[in-house]
A and B are shown apart, each in its own frame.
Chain A
Amino acid sequence: MSEAVLTDTGDVLPGGARGIVADFSADKQAFQVPWGKAMMWFFLLSDTFIFGTFLTAYMTVRMSVRDAWPVPSEVFALSFGGEPIPLILIAIMTFVLISSSGTMAMAVNMGYRGERNKAFWLMMATAAFGAMFVGMQAFEWTKLIEEGVRPWSNPMGVAQFGATFFMITGFHGLHVSVGVIYLIVVGRRVKSGFYDRTRGNYEMVEITGLYWHFVDLVWVFIFAFFYLW
């Protein structure tokens, strides 16, 4: 594959490895994707730095405090019939969120196949999973607050535990909530045939999906750093 290609401006494009470079620096588009999708990539890259900074700050704080950090398997346990089961709620929350990534991926697929109704319902399922996740998070927050955990102090150990926990899970929960709204807005447009009228394709579903998968992925890291460390 190394024939040179003649373009409409009369330039000769190289083939082979140099062709790859030429492709990236080609005219018009560096990536062969719609504008919205490219923009979502860049946004998520920037957002990665936000969460990256949050988590780095968390690690620094956790390693530099002098008193004991509360033990996650005890703090995050739920009792059923008197038996505390460590991390059970988090396990369910994580399962729910991962399932939502599954329904989202199916929605994207249905969108591209033009099955508007299926895409819509799958997106609503995703949003419902998301709402469930936020609900369970609210439940977990309530439980911790009832046990006396506050951002500025807590009975189990150093104050920074509550501060980092509420701040970072809160920021993530905000992302999930925004995602739910985003899904509902785009989902309704899918159902009403809005995209058939405007751009004639369902890339918007995929773009929403990118955001959703990203939020899930971030959760995996938060999960690992807060609950497993």
Chain B
Amino acid sequence: MAYVAIADRDHELEHHDPTTFITKYIWSQDHKVIAIQYSITALFVGFVALVLSGMMRLQLGFPDSFSFITPVSYYQFITMHGMIMVIFLLTALFLGGFGNYLIPLMIGSRDMVFPYMNMVSFWVYLVSVIVLLSSFFVPGGPTGAGWTLYPPQAILPGTPGTDWGIILMLVSLALFIVAFTMGGLNYVTTILQARTRGMTMMRLPLSLWGIFMATILGLLAFPALFVSAVMMTLDKAIGTSFFMPAVISMGEQLDHAGGSPILFQHLFWFFGHPEVYIVALPGFGLVSDLLSTHARKSIFGYRMMVWAILAIGGLSFVVWAHHMYVSGMNPYFGFFFATTTLIIAVPTAIKVYNWVLTLWQGDIHLTVPMLFAIGFIFTFTHGGLTGIFLGNVVVDLPLSDTYFVVAHFHMVMGVSPIMVVFGAIYHWYPKITGRMFNETLGKWHFWLTFFGTYAIYLPMHYLGFLGVPRRYFSMGDTEFMPESAFVLNQSITISALFVGVVQLLFLYNIIVSLKKGKEAGPNPWKATTLEWQTPDTPPKHGNWGHELPVVYRWAYDYSVPGYHDDFIPQNVPPNPDIPAHDDGTHHS
């Protein structure tokens, strides 16, 4: 019953083998090409968002020295920066990029279950990015409503970009959701239904558990954003009043009446909080595999890790209103949401302990991916701890909308996932391109980025305690701000620009190594998971040559005593020379 044969689609694929440049690299249905298309697009918009953050920092560090940054453009930069980073960079890169590349390779299949739909997913994503960026060129510019797009201000005159910007933003989000749904359905179905022989769910590498759960969260959370985008578009375009109360704007009574702005906040955060985990869970998964591989040790508590991912995913749907403590709600609700928020810290803490225990007494190789993975443990723990502060209503009230919040979310969902992104790109680069990157440059990239981000975000906690408000173009002569705050702001800006420039090292490295890097061989890290066991590097169309691999063991057989190597790939059959390893999934 559990072993229904899936027709191996080998012959069918031979049939479709793309031949021309266009079918191979442009209109490609190969999950690996689609992954690269997704990643390059995401990294490109990510760079746009990085440049925007640099401009904001210029204004904050050296107020009014740059004439091209006005209050209006500041709000537009902040909005586009936030939205691009969260949705169009991180979500797209983790799921569209890493999800696409790793899922079929790690489960031993030839492609996603519906490659055509997978391809369309990328093209719709590209259109959503183009729509988003086009808002820089329309009259009035992009929206300046903040990435949370709260009504009523998001669509009222006085907020930047209410001519076209807000509409383009909402349309772009709706398109993104359509694209994500097409990809996401593929990821979930492929993981559940197309695994190769022997690859049980409990033998999946944690990377895939993270991507799997994040995709499910996306499929269930994006609908709330989709619906609120539709409703807000109607409010703006044809004058309905879903979110719009009776408002007097600029001395005029508007035609709206009776709508509820708080409803939007609930819908937005019903999406928004799971969204945090949509970018965190793939990071958790990928980092687990990096740590285990480069510490040559099995992951500590595999089953616990899987259950923690599932628990976090489930709980993430019942914590959303911790973003709304200052919006006004029944005190019992505040109590409820504070409690669930603190409960979610438990499985999260379990994961952190398990990462540290994986390192414990491991044979740690401080390779570039490993450095980024360890960096992640630091930044994530740091951001997670400040989250516990903000999860409590009474602590949050004074800190809400200050730089403490900016510091918190940048540590936990900005820097930490980015650490994983870099670590993972370095880790899989040899498989994707067949060449090694430059190790020295990579190490410089890590250390400068790691310390640089601390130089940016540590002082922000202090600014937050001083009461410096978030989303302010300039402080002016605010009484409560000591001189030191201004100096700090300058130092933060310099660090931020520095960190921005350092990313060129990364770009240079991955581009130049494409040609100059030395041949990587099939498995440079001596990793156990299936993607390193492909017959060709980089893997060819169809991934596995003529026969699909068969899996006999879990993904973490590192340093098994008595074996001649310190790793046993998942597709090595049990035989008398190999000590049997009981991964706990198959008792008789």
Contact = CB atoms under 8 A, between A and B. Distances in A.
Main secondary structure of the interface of B (DSSP, over half): loop
A39 B242 contact: no
Interface residues of A, number: 52
Contacts of A31: 192-193
A27 B199 contact: yes
Interface in B214-268: 219-224, 226-228, 230-231, 234, 238-242, 255, 257-260, 263, 267
A50 B231 CA distance: 12
Contacts of A4: 588
A64 interface: yes
A90 B238 CA distance: 27
Contacts of A29: 2, 4, 6, 192-195
B200 A39 contact: no
Interface string A22-33: 111111111111
Contacts of B195: 27-29
Contact of B224 (A13, A27, A49): A49
Contacts of B310: none
B239 A152 contact: yes
Contact of A27 (B113, B181, B196): B196
B89 interface: no
Contact of B4 (A8, A25, A28): A28
B502 interface: no
A42 interface: yes
A54 B227 contact: yes
A57 B267 contact: yes
A28 B196 contact: yes
Contacts of B231: 57, 167
A81 interface: no
Range of interface residues on chain B? 35 or more
A39 B240 contact: no
A61 interface: yes
B114 interface: yes
Given A39-B185, A57-B267, A10 B3 contact: no
A210 B567 CA distance: 46
B199 A163 contact: no
A47 B224 CA distance: 11
Interface string A12-44: 111000000011111111111101101100110
A167 B588 CA distance: 56
Contact of A7 (B3, B184, B196, B202): B3
Given A10-B574, A14-B587, A54-B227, A45 B267 contact: no
B263 to A, nearest CB: 5
B234 to A, nearest CB: 6
Contact of B2 (A13, A35, A49, A52): A13
A64 B263 CA distance: 10
B198 interface: yes
B309 interface: no
A9 B588 contact: no
B224 A45 contact: no
B189 A35 contact: yes
Nearest to A163: B240
Contacts of A197: none
A8 B3 CA distance: 9
A49 B270 CA distance: 11
B177 to A, nearest CB: 10
A11 interface: yes
Interface string B258-286: 11100100010010000000000000000
Contacts of B114: 35-36, 39
Nearest to A158: B258
Contact of A152 (B194, B238, B573): B238
A9 B4 CA distance: 14
Contacts of B198: 7, 9, 11, 27
Contacts of A39: 113-114, 185-186, 188-189
A180 B259 CA distance: 35
Nearest to B188: A42
A192 interface: no
B25 interface: no
A38 B195 CA distance: 14
Contacts of A28: 2-4, 6, 193-197, 199
Interface string A134-173: 0000000000000000011000001110011001000100
Contacts of B189: 35, 38-39, 42
B242 A50 contact: no
A65 interface: yes
A167 B263 CA distance: 16
A9 B573 CA distance: 8
A52 B228 CA distance: 12
Interface string A172-206: 00000000000000000000000000000000000
Nearest to B264: A57
B586 A13 contact: yes
Interface in A53-71: 53-54, 57, 60-61, 64-67
B551 interface: yes
B255 A152 contact: yes
B520 interface: no
A151 B2 contact: no
Contacts of A163: 234, 240-242
A134 to B, nearest CB: 20
Nearest to B2: A26
B507 interface: no
Interface in B263-315: 263, 267, 270
B72 interface: no
A198 to B, nearest CB: 10
Given A49-B224, A54-B227, A9 B239 contact: no
Nearest to A52: B223
A158 B270 CA distance: 27
> Interface centre among B4, B223, B260, B587, by most A CB within 10 Å?
B223
B181 A43 contact: yes
A152 B259 CA distance: 11
Contacts of A45: 219-220
Given A5-B2, A14-B587, 4 more contacts: A9-B573, A61-B259, A159-B258, A163-B234
Interface of A: 4-5, 7-14, 22-33, 35-36, 38-39, 42-43, 45-47, 49-50, 52-54, 57, 60-61, 64-67, 151-152, 158-160, 163-164, 167, 171
6 contacts: A24-B201, A28-B4, A32-B4, A46-B223, A64-B260, A64-B263
Interface of B: 1-4, 6, 113-114, 181, 184-186, 188-189, 192-203, 219-224, 226-228, 230-231, 234, 238-242, 255, 257-260, 263, 267, 270, 550-552, 573-574, 585-588
A-B pairs, 5 with minimum CB distance: A26-B2, A25-B201, A49-B223, A163-B240, A9-B198
